[in-house]
Chain A
């Protein structure tokens, strides 16, 4: 866990007091809506279809059990008893009253959480791998770098009024769980031949109405230069990014229009002036931040304890274990993913009771720490392997042991027309229906890894472009229609999906998805070939022929 200092706490308290004052002035009419809107947005407060929504950042996806319990409290006291975990390591409360918002924020501020950098044209909450600090694959703990960037970017005066919002993601493992290639800036930590730590720097990725995969502009940037290099990127963007047209204001458009090479040259030229200046990170600064991340006191434990061997006799436990548990860097420990996708439920939602249950389990088995991943699931990063059977029983009792991680029912979906004022079509009920069709876990296991991502409009909050199957809600003559894409992916081989064919109506979507899956089962070269690999081998045509023949 990261330990916040007095400065952070005092700062948050002041910020909440400011917001309380702004809300009072708004309610009394002293502030107009036009004056108030940018202020509320800077605190993560949106107005949706039927209520205000509060978006709270979970920096680099790390939460303490106390913080999660406080979120449960907010859900219970000020909202309708649940919260929604999003694809950017945030949580959203959908029903908070404006009058109650300052108090809800004060309650959250007491445990160091807030809505800063969750909205507005600033550098947003920096996201990273939910397995940070725990996976044996990583070169370093990416949260250290996310925290350095967070401290640098929070209220940076030059970057508070950017042409548009700006999203940075970091991975420190070759396997990219943070979707770095579809962020404005993606940082990929690795070691060069001399064993030195550095970042590959990608720019210009993004989704929305004009999706792009990020382009690499520097294969290796020594870590001490990360701030000056980001600053150089931001300056080039601030200077040349378009402010005349909101749809062309993201950095991806600039990179696309002038080309990655020209963009890289401009950055390098800017960087040459500042690289050895005040932004260069000294070892002291890095060590200071590093020292604020406290790691659990791991015990020397066996990797295959008797408790595990015995429990694996139970096929239900074994199913969950194979699906939701991963290897930890410390022997005798495991990383546990908690699916927030029970069959038929809204993806990413957790009730207040479930949040409390997870917080209690984190206290009992996981050193008080919880993570949130971009797939809208939770994670306990540090669990003693011998405790897994007990943990599983208690997760199951709380409805949190669905063994469908990375299966077709582990769907990413945005709030869509059920909540969102910008939506064309619903996303959540589509996800619910698909997950019901594939409720049979043997069937979904037979299908293997398959990511279905759904967005209710072109803004792509549900990452549909990078779903193995992407579903985008559009509107035709007042009716909900859905475009289907195949072959997208958000990992280290990120790629945008290809349109399958004409949009289909709401009722046709689940059947169409079943047909696509049937086509895959027929077309795959062997049960080992994943859906995504079959699509890449054959293209969408053979799918199209089979699927539209029946519709």
Chain B
């Protein structure tokens, strides 16, 4: 997955526009109202390249809210839920795929005697 920002825009399915929030880098999604939300469920979902470009242009107008906007694939669930469309976006939405190191020391790592 070459970084999506560098890819040519091809839209063949539902897509949304995503970016990172300027202040803390959090993953955000472009909403239909022209704002940003951390909930993928709030994203404006479109299915054609011109619509996607329009969303992206809106996103680029102001760069103090979010940065690095690009078009990301999404999947629509049966109940209309919006889900991330590939592994990269799944990781961006759900976090890393393993347990983060916790600040309690793990149990002894030595072999039993």
Contact = CB atoms under 8 A, between A and B. Distances in A.
Interface of A: 26-29, 32-33, 47-52, 76, 80-82, 97-99, 314-316, 319-320, 342-343, 345-346, 349-354, 357, 396-403, 417-419, 421-424, 426, 428-429, 432, 441-442, 475, 478, 480
B15 to A, nearest CB: 14
Nearest to A404: B109
Contacts of A398: 105
B67 A353 contact: no
Contacts of A99: 23-24
A396 B109 contact: yes
Contacts of B106: 342, 345, 399
Contacts, number: 126
A343 to B, nearest CB: 7
Given A82-B101, A397-B105, A403-B110, A51 B25 contact: yes
Interface residues of B, number: 35
Given A351-B105, A353-B104, A475-B1, A98 B110 contact: no
A306 B95 CA distance: 51
Interface of B: 1, 3, 20, 22-27, 63-64, 67-68, 86-88, 91-92, 95-98, 100-111, 113
Given A26-B22, A49-B91, A52-B25, A320 B3 contact: no
A76 B24 contact: no
A315 B88 contact: no
Contacts of B107: 399
Contacts of B23: 27, 97-99
B14 to A, nearest CB: 15
B52 to A, nearest CB: 18
A419 B27 CA distance: 12
B105 to A, nearest CB: 4
A418 B102 contact: no
Contacts of B110: 316, 319-320, 396, 401-403
A98 B25 CA distance: 7
A478 B86 contact: yes
B87 A417 contact: yes
Given A51-B26, A354-B105, A418 B98 contact: yes
4 nearest interchain CB pairs? A97-B24, A51-B25, A399-B106, A81-B103
A343 B103 contact: no
Contacts of B86: 478
B6 to A, nearest CB: 10
